[in-house]
């Protein structure tokens, strides 16, 4: 078995605990729409930026998985905590799964290939079978760099704690409406836009680079995910912190990194050459 092949269960059965949590979150998200307030909307938007913008895009993906830049240890840890607020699992699970995806992209062993159907790529892989969210020992095999840190080991096993504490704080501060917006609606929205990278960005869009997978640059996924939708660029240059390579490819996470660099918060940023995008387009023409 390859070092990047995740053991899969025999057959696909519904993961009832995961399904139940997702159903309840979706019900709460719909209920939130009937309890609108501008304060709840602003708090939710800020938390979404923290969770998906910092936690997933800058943290789990570009930093923890691909090590495309360096930063202070406290920022590494903070981004990882933000990542848990998405309910997408702890850092060792998320990073391990994504590394397997790159090693086996759209091939047997890929955890969420659209070749098994759009629904499977989007959320079926979470709902059907064991995804090893809490199996820190197994997933640590794919993340030996993170497994050296007790903090990441603890956070992966107890990835639900930050979200639970946030939920309690929102409920105490703003009551049920703030909880429904800041937890249920935000988490549901964040899950689906992130899952679109696995599904939509492998099904629809332009292919600038001839990669060995079906990755595509999808502008609307990029708008929803702080630049993660420039997926073909990313698969061609996985260690690049810059994923929007053309001037018109809006990449908020890349802009954020450049701002952080000015304040000495990040350094040694890896970035693919913008010229590589234009060369690829000329060769394809």
Secondary structure string (H, E, C) spanning 27-82: HHHHHHCCCCCHHHHHHHHHHHHHHHHHHHHHHHHHHHHCCCCEECHHHHHHHHHH
- Percent helix, strand, coil in the chain, to 5, is 60, 5, 35
| pLDDT on residue 276 | 63
Task: Please check the confidence at residue 4 and state whether its pLDDT lies above 80.
Answer: no
The residues facing 161 across adjacent strands are none
Task: Please check the confidence at residue 225 and state whether its pLDDT lies above 60.
Answer: yes
- What backbone torsions phi and psi does residue 69 show, to the nearest 5 degrees? -160, 170
- Using CA atoms, how far residue 72 sits from 175, 266, 280, in Å, is 36, 7, 35
Both tokens assigned to 198? 């696995």
Q: Which of 3-17, 58-72, 211-225 has the lowest mean pLDDT?
A: 3-17
> Is 262 within 8 Å of 235 (Cβ atoms)?
no
Mean pLDDT (the chain, rounded)? 92
Q: What is the pTM of this model?
A: 0.92
Looking from the CA of 232 toward its CB, the CA atoms found within 13 Å total 24
Structure confidence by residue, pLDDT tens digits, 72-90: 999 999 999 999 999 999 9
| pLDDT on residue 282 | 58
Task: Determine if residue 62 is left, alpha or beta; phi over 0 gives left, psi from -120 to 50 gives alpha, anything else beta.
Answer: alpha
Task: Please check the confidence at residue 8 and state whether its pLDDT lies above 70.
Answer: no
Task: Please check the confidence at residue 144 and state whether its pLDDT lies above 90.
Answer: yes
Nearest to residue 253, comparing CAs of 277, 280, 218, 229?
A: 229
d(CA 276, CA 177): 48
- What backbone torsions phi and psi does residue 71 show, to the nearest 5 degrees? -155, 180
Task: Please check the confidence at residue 7 and state whether its pLDDT lies above 50.
Answer: no
| pLDDT on residue 134 | 77
């Amino acid at each position: 078995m390859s070092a990047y092949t995740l053991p899969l269960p025999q057959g696909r059965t519904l993961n009832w605990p995961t399904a139940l949590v997702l159903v309840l979150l979706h019900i709460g998200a719909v209920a939130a729409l009937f309890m609108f307030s501008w304060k709840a909307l602003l708090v939710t938007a800020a938390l979404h930026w923290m969770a998906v913008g910092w936690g997933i895009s800058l943290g789990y993906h570009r930093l923890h998985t691909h090590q495309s830049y360096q930063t202070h240890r406290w920022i590494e840890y903070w981004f990882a905590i933000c990542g848990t607020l998405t309910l997408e699992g702890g850092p060792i699970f998320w990073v391990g799964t994504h590394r397997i995806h790159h090693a086996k992209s759209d091939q047997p062993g890929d955890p969420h290939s659209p070749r098994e159907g759009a629904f499977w790529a989007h959320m079926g892989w979470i709902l059907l079978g064991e995804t090893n969210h809490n199996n820190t020992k197994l997933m640590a095999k794919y993340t030996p760099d993170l497994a050296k840190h007790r903090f990441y080991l603890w956070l992966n096993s107890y990835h639900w704690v930050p979200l639970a504490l946030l939920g309690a704080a929102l409920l105490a501060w703003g009551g049920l409406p703030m909880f429904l917006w800041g937890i249920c609606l935000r988490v549901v929205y964040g899950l689906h836009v992130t899952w679109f990278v696995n599904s939509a960005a492998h099904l629809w869009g332009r292919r600038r680079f001839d990669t060995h997978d079906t990755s595509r640059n999808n502008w609307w996924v990029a708008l929803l995910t702080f630049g993660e939708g420039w997926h073909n660029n990313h698969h061609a240059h996985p260690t690049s912190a810059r994923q929007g390579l053309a001037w018109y490819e809006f990449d908020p996470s890349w802009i954020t990194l450049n701002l952080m660099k000015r304040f000495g918060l990040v350094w040694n940023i890896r970035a693919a050459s913008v010229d590589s995008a234009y060369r690829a387009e000329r060769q394809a023409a």
